[in-house]
Amino acid sequence: MKKQWFLIGILILAWILVCTVSADVRPPETKETQSFATVTSVEVYGAFSESDILGWRQSNEALDKNRDYISNAPLLDDDGDWTFTGENIENMQPSDWRPREPGDENQFWIFAFFPYPNFPPLFEGFVESPEPPLGRYEVQIASSIREDTLANQGLTSYAKQSSIDTRAPAANMFNVEQRKAVGFAGTATGRIVSDESALIDGAGATIQTAGRQLGSCPFLNDCIGNCVPPFCTIVEMGSMLDMKEVQFASEVKSRTIAKVAIESGESSSDEPAAQVAFPVIDGPPTTLVYGIRVTGPGQAPAAVGDVMAYMNVHAQDGSPGCPGSSLAKGIDLVYKEKTTAGGYVSLFEKKMQYESGIQCH
Q: Answer yes or no: is pLDDT of 269 > 50.
A: yes
For the chain, what is the radius of gyration of the CA atoms? 28
Q: Answer yes or no: is pLDDT of 32 > 80.
A: yes
Q: What average pLDDT does this structure show over 350-360?
A: 89
Number of other CB atoms surrounding residue 211 within 10 Å: 10
Handedness of CA 25, 30, 31, 35 (dihedral sign): negative
Q: What average pLDDT does this structure show over 13-18?
A: 45
Q: What is the pLDDT of residues 270-311, one digit of tens each?
A: 555 567 889 998 889 999 999 999 999 988 899 999 999 999
Residues 5 and 339 sit within 8 Å (Cβ to Cβ): no
CA 351, CA 177: separation in Å to the nearest integer?
Answer: 15
> Considering the chain, what is the average pLDDT of its residues?
86
Residue 272: cis peptide before it, omega within 30 degrees of 0: no
Burial of 220 (0-12, 13-18, 19+ CB in 10 A): buried
CA 275, CA 261: separation in Å to the nearest integer?
Answer: 14
Q: Answer yes or no: is pLDDT of 206 > 80.
A: yes
Q: Answer yes or no: is pLDDT of 10 > 80.
A: no
CA 284, CA 271: separation in Å to the nearest integer?
Answer: 29
Q: Answer yes or no: is pLDDT of 201 > 80.
A: yes
Residue 164's pLDDT band, with cuts at 50, 70 and 90, is very high
Strands 231-255, 176-204: parallel, antiparallel or unpaired by DSSP? antiparallel
Q: Answer yes or no: is pLDDT of 359 > 80.
A: no
CA 81, CA 103: separation in Å to the nearest integer?
Answer: 13
Q: Of 150, 241, 254, 243, nearest to 202 (Cα)? A: 254
Q: What is the pLDDT of residues 68-109, one digit of tens each?
A: 888 888 887 777 788 888 878 778 888 888 888 877 766 666
Q: What average pLDDT does this structure show over 4-8?
A: 48
Q: What is the pLDDT of residues 40-76, one digit of tens each?
A: 999 999 999 999 999 999 999 889 988 888 888 888 7
Residue 110: what pLDDT?
67
Which runs of E-coded beta strand occur in 166-285?
176-204, 207-208, 227-228, 231-255, 260-262, 278-279
